[in-house]
Chain A
């Protein structure tokens, strides 16, 4: 049986698990050394592999905050953006990160070139970038997913002068020029840092004598072979929340609509499962205020956690959103929900005296006994969390749809179970369960759920296919594929081509044959009518290998 190592280097903690024979053989949790993530990684790895026969190790999966941290802490490279915008939205309304050069050229919504780029203009720009000692750049065109030729031509002209060029159409098949710009910018900005990180990881593994498939976890809860991750490092941002959801999936038997909560010290992350499958963000994830096109699991992070500061003013209790330190029971400066749990006897951790002292302060203001105040704080915390959950479900159910069929027959989410992980999970569970009307499960090994999630996540991939039989072209936006098709090309043909390409792509990114669960997520076909005659078909498909666990680790059945 194979042995799998999963590591999640999170912002605060680094979790690691060693899985063998469908069991957690070893697990560990350490404080992350923010200054040196590689160190954190190697330490837990050393700990878990000590005394093991590493020949049995068949798979290593890492989830790290390296990309997220670089962006959030602004430790990124200087980058230039070259934008082929054409008419439309005003440049003043686009967040160009102050680094943009708008150049001539225009592609329209059908992917037809309306205005050419000017090679001389690009040459001049290249000289300017050189003078400014710019080494990394992003090239982004409006509608470049419909026709990447402008981006490719600009790269060919500038390629020799720069270290790396990120191309907009490679980031995602979705339409959204401003997001494509942000995504490409972030990708270019972390490219160097991430590549150095991967080189170090690969060196360390070699040093260990390990040559097993090694993966990195992405924001969509899927993995990618580490050496293939270097071209688009930005897809590894926000892998932490994704790891947590995948962890819940691997520890629980979720086949139905469900709510997954990860209650931490500072925040609570909410995710929703539809028939046991985590939902993806419609366009892409948002990081540090930047809206991107990065495919990611839909999570909502709210500023309520075990260590949130509790205040009482204007006759009401407020939980968070800030965390001013640990709970009072652990020497923190202010009362917190954790202190309330300790006072109520719902958890037996920390210094009970200190907790009681902190809660007394709130009780005095409320003019009630300490136990009543503690109860009120717990109640308020749970009520806040549930109301956010309910709002999130409402938003998902009220998401606009564009066909009469979906209007009348569309699926309505109706969660039947609640899964909770995180420190205060057990203490809050019964109250949250009754408020949300769901039975609650608290999985075993929840404290290392992230590492388990990473260890067992399968490789995911997505493609966006557009066949235009009037123009006789088929394009797969994010892969830059453009091929000629015959006029009689059908939706069935498109599905076959799409499935084949997705399969190839997923295998290339590290997927195993047995994990290729392919699903069509968008499927539209339009008759193109010009002057009362049908002139062609516009076929639009989106296919994915959906997020899930590798074969043999069916949801909740193992570990």
Chain B
């Protein structure tokens, strides 16, 4: 008999909200999941407790994002409830009302980056990051690991924590050469002060349970062991499933449940997953049972056929090699950092970001102050084809006095009329300032 755990469930299917009338991110998305969860009687278990989501505030979002021109222009109530649901799940865990919690909410958020000009990859704001910064604001600085198991690269979460050495972002996903958003290669390791705390594990199309669990055992769990997070968050996207219409993987409900059991996240948050009839009902039942420490061995898709979802020997060999390489990069992160920085005091990166959902293009230059004492001052200069050019100055959480001083001086010295808006985000003192420029 396994040990049962008390699991909080925040279920918010937003039955009256869709991106557009025929979009995959639609009202119906969690309908059959609700049917299955209800029919299996999961809410009647004494150790599974359902909670109503809270509603995130503008401040909760400004703590994480630079929304252009402001939060209310880029989010709707649905995003505030989805993020609020994740926050509720975190609250229940942090207050020890439950052992772990699952925010089964929509819309998703892991493609939403630090600067938000609009929606990309069905996401407007990053609900895990909003939750993480809420936790840090209310429960003090924490080392947090995000393990993103969605089939798409969690590029938004990676972007937000690119320079944060206290947040480990691990994403395993279908190889970016074959799927949106086309990033997440193993050489993406994090910014100059956080080399190694971004870990990318691209998997070839048609990888199955065996492949996922191999990288879990051989890369993710060993890295977590060394990183020693206070909290593990699972961005529990479900589009790796063999029936998903927009991806090419072969993950199963059993695989998801086993992965969850081994990873044992403190908080899981739903991300993608669009096989709404044939995958989500079974995957979610599997995850809920696994989190609650209940027997999930009978959970499987009615059409499950083991032979049809097995991965080839070639894929297995490829994954083994890739896993070894990624673990090596992690082991060598210090020397990689030294090589990357050299003698520079600042490191710049340029990005072109496409907001596929809203059809916006953005050019961005990020400048980071090299610092051995904190994540480093970040300055972002961003221009979008909406006509908005903005400058954002970001003082990281647990900032050192030097980075803070430099950020404050810089903010005081800028000529604001060069920009549409200038933002100043100070995560330690929870200050967010927005000035309209020209």
Contacts and interface: CB of A to CB of B under 8 A. Distances in A.
B39 A177 contact: yes
Contact of B298 (A90, A398, A403, A405): A90
Contact of B295 (A93, A175, A403): A93
B300 A110 contact: no
A93 B44 CA distance: 11
Interface residues of B, number: 51
Contact of B52 (A283, A398, A533): A398
B295 A404 contact: no
Interface string B26-37: 111001101110
Given A91-B298, A110-B277, A176-B39, A408 B52 contact: no
Contacts of A528: 28
B41 A526 contact: no
Given A109-B281, A179-B41, A534 B295 contact: no
Contacts of B77: 404, 407-408
A87 B28 contact: no
Given A90-B296, A114-B303, A404-B77, A176 B44 contact: yes
B35 A527 contact: no
Interface in A30-64: none
B40 A177 contact: yes
A398 to B, nearest CB: 5
Contacts of A405: 16
Contacts of B36: 88, 109
B28 A402 contact: no
A524 B15 contact: yes
Contacts of A121: none
Interface stretch (B17-25, B89-97, B311-319, B322-330): B17-25
Contact of B40 (A88, A91, A110, A402): A88
A176 B302 CA distance: 18
Contacts of B297: 90
Contacts of A208: none
A179 B44 contact: yes
A346 interface: no
B31 A407 contact: no
**Which of B281, B295, B297, B302 counts the most A-chain CB atoms under 10 A from its CB?**
B302
Nearest to B55: A407
Interface stretch (B6-14, B158-166, B174-182, B352-360): B6-14
B289 interface: yes
Contacts of A114: 302-303
Contacts of A399: 52
Nearest to A410: B52
A89 interface: yes
A11 interface: no
A460 interface: no
Contacts of A178: 40-41, 44
A109 B24 contact: no
Contacts of B11: 400, 402
Interface in B229-287: 245, 277, 281-282, 285
Contact of B300 (A87, A93, A402, A408): A87
Nearest to A88: B40
B139 interface: no
Contacts of B304: 87
Contact of A109 (B16, B21, B35, B44): B35
A30 B22 CA distance: 66
A258 interface: no
B227 interface: no
A89 B289 contact: yes
B411 interface: no
B296 A404 contact: no
B384 interface: no
B82 to A, nearest CB: 10
A537 to B, nearest CB: 10
B39 A175 contact: yes
A403 B78 CA distance: 9
Given A109-B39, A403-B15, A90 B51 contact: no
A120 interface: no
Contact of B32 (A89, A110, A402): A110
A124 to B, nearest CB: 23
B336 interface: no
B37 to A, nearest CB: 9
B258 to A, nearest CB: 15
Q: Which 9 A-B pairs have the closest CB atoms?
A: A178-B41, A114-B302, A90-B295, A175-B39, A175-B38, A109-B35, A526-B28, A403-B16, A400-B52
29 contacts: A86-B302, A87-B282, A87-B299, A87-B302, A88-B40, A89-B40, A89-B41, A89-B299, A90-B294, A90-B298, A93-B45, A94-B41, A108-B302, A109-B32, A109-B36, A142-B39, A176-B44, A179-B41, A398-B52, A400-B50, A401-B52, A404-B16, A407-B53, A407-B77, A524-B15, A526-B28, A528-B28, A532-B23, A538-B31
